[in-house]
Amino acid sequence: MPTFQVTVNPPELKGQRGTEQAISVTVTNTLERPATARVMLRPGPSSPGAWVTPPPDNLGRYPSRNASQQFTFTLRIPADAPAGSYSLLFDVVDTDLPDDHFGTSAPMSFVLAPLGSPVPTPQAKPRWWILVAAAVLVIGLGVVVWKVFFDKGEMKDLREKKYLEGVASLAADTTVQFSILRADTLSRDTMKYKPGTIVAQSIRPGGKLRDSVNMLILTVQRSFTAVPSVVGKELTEAAALLGKDSLFLEMYFRTYRHAKNTDSIKVVQTIPPPGALVGRGQRVTLIVATPIPCDSTGRCMPVGNWLQLIDGGVKRMNTDAMAGRRP
């Protein structure tokens, strides 16, 4: 089953020689974890790969579920391009598990007529057609004026909708085109805006839309959690609790001299404090108290040597803290 949603804009291409067209490919991660994926044009007998220029960087990084990234490909049809039917498909493949996690866009097809096709010559028409044409022209002008001044499309209100639901509602209207950029944020109103819900939109609801492509930024509530209470806990236990909530950890040490040979390392403070609302994947700072072993004569190991000794274990904990992460 595809694990990446791939949408293209515009949905249709013009089959005209000597033209250049930009194709916007938007990739959305539907995995319940962060992912790194590559977007590329699928090769094939009907795919004009030599005419398509990929973006400088086609590697997308998606920190959470519903994270999106946009890529721009360019299609240049040569003036001497051969006639035929052509189709473009864009594939997205996970760099870690390409056989399990992937996605494909809808096909974009266009046709090139044979070179040198004769242009039909209009036949002479009776004079009464002039009157009919004039009447049609007047009616057509009236329709254009009405469209321009009275029938402008208006932007929908997507706030409080799920991101995929909002994008789907825009795609259902084929008369208006959008280029959508997703921006994740963390709204403090977690009752109103659940993860994946649209918080704000760059085009206000009811705003006028263009006949050309409308650039739209959707601000989406990111996945969030509360900083767990780890003060007083051993460092290994604190690291496991942070990893369970998909939080990275960073440590600062407060050393003190201890007569016993012990490696007990406990958390004395967290930044942000316990209960603070944070986005998943955010770094939490732990202030930890670590004893420096001393012998019965009062001689203690130098602070630098002791921290260097435990540094390997600390790095291991920092890695293991994400082992049980959630999106």
> In this predicted structure, what is the pLDDT of residue 289?
80
Query: At residue 325, does pLDDT exceed 80?
Result: no
Pick the CATH number of 4-112 from 2.60.40.2310, 1.20.990.10, 1.20.1290.10, 2.40.50.140: 2.60.40.2310
- What pLDDT, on a 0 to 100 scale, did the predictor assign at position 119? 45
Q: What is the pLDDT of residues 122-133, one digit of tens each?
A: 555 556 656 666
Instruction: Quote the Cα angle for 316-321-322, to 5°.
Output: 115
Cα(68)–Cα(190) distance, integer angstroms: 21
Task: Compute the distance between CA of residue 271 and CA of residue 279 in angstroms, rounded to an integer.
Answer: 14
> For the chain, what is the mean pLDDT?
81
Where does the chain hold its CATH 3.30.10.20 domain(s)? 134-222, 226-320
**Confidence band (pLDDT; 50, 70, 90) for 150?**
very low
Q: What is the pLDDT of residue 136?
A: 66
Contacts of 206 (CB under 8 A, 6+ apart): 154, 155, 157
Per-residue model confidence as pLDDT tens digits over 179-211: 998 998 888 888 889 899 999 999 999 898 988
Q: What pLDDT is attached to residue 126?
A: 54
- Residue range(s) of every CATH 2.60.40.2310 domain in the chain: 4-112
DSSP 65: T
In CATH terms, the fold of domain 134-222 is: Trypsin Inhibitor V; Chain A (3.30.10)
The CATH number assigned to the domain with range 226-320 reads: 3.30.10.20
Whether the per-residue pLDDT at 308 is higher than 90: the answer is no
State how far the Cα of 324 lies from the Cα of 127, in Å rounded to an integer.
81
Which pLDDT value is given to residue 203?
93
With 70 as the cut, is the pLDDT of residue 306 above it? Answer: no
Give percent of the chain with pLDDT exceeding 70.
Answer: 76
pLDDT digits (tens, 9 = 90+) for 135-146: 667 566 655 544
Give the global pTM: 0.40
Q: What is the pLDDT of residues 48-98, one digit of tens each?
A: 989 999 999 999 999 999 999 999 999 999 999 999 999 999 999 999 888
- Higher local confidence (pLDDT), 327 or 156: 156
pLDDT of 25 over the 80 cut: yes
Secondary structure class of 305 (helix, strand, coil): helix
